[in-house]
Amino acid sequence: MLTRSLKIGIVCPYSWDTPGGVQNHIRDLAEFLIAAGHEVSVLAPAIDESKLPDYVVNAGKPISIPYNGAVARVLFGPVAFARVRQWISQGDFDLLHLHEPAIPSISLLACWAADGPMVGTFHAAAKRQKIIFAIGPILEPAIEKLSARIAVSEAARLTLTDHLDTDAIIIPNGIYAMRYAHGKLQEKWSGNTIGFIGRFEEPRKGLSVLVDALPVISRFAPDVKVFVAGPGDPEEVIKSIDPQLRHRFEFLGKISEEDKADFMSSVALYVAPNTGGESFGIILAEALAAGACVVASDIPAFDDLLGHGEFGALFESESPTELAKVVIDLLRDAEKRKQLSLRGKMHAQEFDWKNVAEKIYSVYEMSIVGSEKVRLASDTRPWNRFLNKEEKS
């Protein structure tokens, strides 16, 4: 039970306006903690301040940088550092929770700017990044200031140990499992259907793998149809599809959370053909909670989440041939789909916020035992050294 009321400051490194797994995780965690009686303030970059919830403080407009196979919208620099210090000074926090403090962002700035109880959550699963080598000598002392470190998956933990030679406890991302458990079967999405949700224009989301698998799938399942939901312009994707197969694809655009639950409950298979860069896979956990039969690439994060194939079917990443084999097998075997769905739905409860938040709160309590409240750091030399390095370069 989350019984002791705390004043918690949470730092989101990415633009609040841009949909993403980290932002969604922070939003849900903040709202869960507020509902449990805690006082929470989230500091985040944002473009449109008028659309921020009451608990979010705008740190300023983000800039876009390439990161981990996508575009990250982050905020960094002297003005941002001043705003971070002001937020900490006014917050009177019992604890700071910094997300992705190992990348140049306001989370790293907060780590430099504060002393006292601080928890860091690491989401990224990526190959060694050149940017880490560039600022490693300055970054490592900041990470050592953290009272505790959380990784959202084994893949994220290994990334942390590989980059910074430090460890973390694993607490997965959270979902509201019951929001997806009562999705209604919609005839328009049912039958021999495959569902996909994501920013399909990003190559790492792997829609091209599914596109390339469809010629084989359609030979064995002549009535198969693929529904693609998510933001993006489908025009370029449609051009890459065999003209004879284009009628089998339907692009739905962004769909609501209610529609998402119905969608995942209706399609015969939910396919996640991602090629890498994923540290957890919230969308997979949501699909499991909705009772979907999940097919996913065997990247480490998905392999781990799906219990090495116990709770969903896996195929060799980036292989359209292997994806086609798995899809055809499952479309032909309704009982196998049903059993995978049932096991997956039970497994999804592990990621429900009532379980995940308890684990996070236990880390909070451990971090503040015998500690004073968060305060501004008296030593800002790491930030000054970074500034000097920037000026020289």
pLDDT in tens, 300-312: 999 999 999 999 9
Question: Are 333 and 373 within one domain?
Answer: no
Question: Are 253 and 131 within one domain?
Answer: no
Question: Are 15 and 161 within one domain?
Answer: yes
* Domain span holding position 19: 7-174+352-392
The answer to whether residue 114 sits within a structural domain is yes
Question: Are 256 and 381 within one domain?
Answer: no
Question: Are 317 and 213 within one domain?
Answer: yes
The answer to whether residue 222 sits within a structural domain is yes
Question: Are 333 and 378 within one domain?
Answer: no
Question: Are 119 and 155 within one domain?
Answer: yes
Question: Are 52 and 190 within one domain?
Answer: no
The answer to whether residue 250 sits within a structural domain is yes
Q: Inform me whether the pLDDT recorded for 205 exceeds 60.
A: yes
The answer to whether residue 2 sits within a structural domain is no
The per-residue pLDDT for 284 is 96
Question: Are 11 and 37 within one domain?
Answer: yes
Q: Inform me whether the pLDDT recorded for 277 exceeds 50.
A: yes
The answer to whether residue 68 sits within a structural domain is yes
Question: Are 257 and 182 within one domain?
Answer: yes
The answer to whether residue 1 sits within a structural domain is no
Higher pLDDT: 336 or 277? It is 336
The answer to whether residue 35 sits within a structural domain is yes
Q: Inform me whether the pLDDT recorded for 97 exceeds 60.
A: yes
Contacts 24+ apart (CB under 8 A), 281-285: 281/305, 282/21, 282/24, 282/25, 282/173, 282/175, 283/197, 283/198, 284/312, 285/172, 285/173, 285/175, 285/348, 285/351
Mean pLDDT of 229-234: 92
Question: Are 167 and 308 within one domain?
Answer: no
C-beta of residue 123 within 8 angstroms of C-beta of residue 156: yes
Mean pLDDT of 237-242: 92
Q: Residue 108 sits in a domain of what CATH number?
A: 3.40.50.2000
Q: Inform me whether the pLDDT recorded for 71 exceeds 80.
A: no
> How sure is the predictor about 139, in pLDDT bands with cuts at 50, 70 and 90?
confident
Question: Are 132 and 169 within one domain?
Answer: yes
The answer to whether residue 237 sits within a structural domain is yes
Task: Indicate the number of domains in the chain.
Answer: 2
d(CA 387, CA 342): 54
C-beta of residue 378 within 8 angstroms of C-beta of residue 115: yes
Closest CA to 106 of 72, 140, 134, 130: 72
Q: Strand 294-297 to strand 269-272: parallel, antiparallel, or no bridges (unpaired)?
A: parallel
Q: Strand 193-197 to strand 225-229: parallel, antiparallel, or no bridges (unpaired)?
A: parallel
- Can you give the pTM of this predicted structure? 0.86
Candidate from 36-45, 108-117, 163-172, 319-328 with smallest mean pLDDT: 163-172
The per-residue pLDDT for 137 is 64
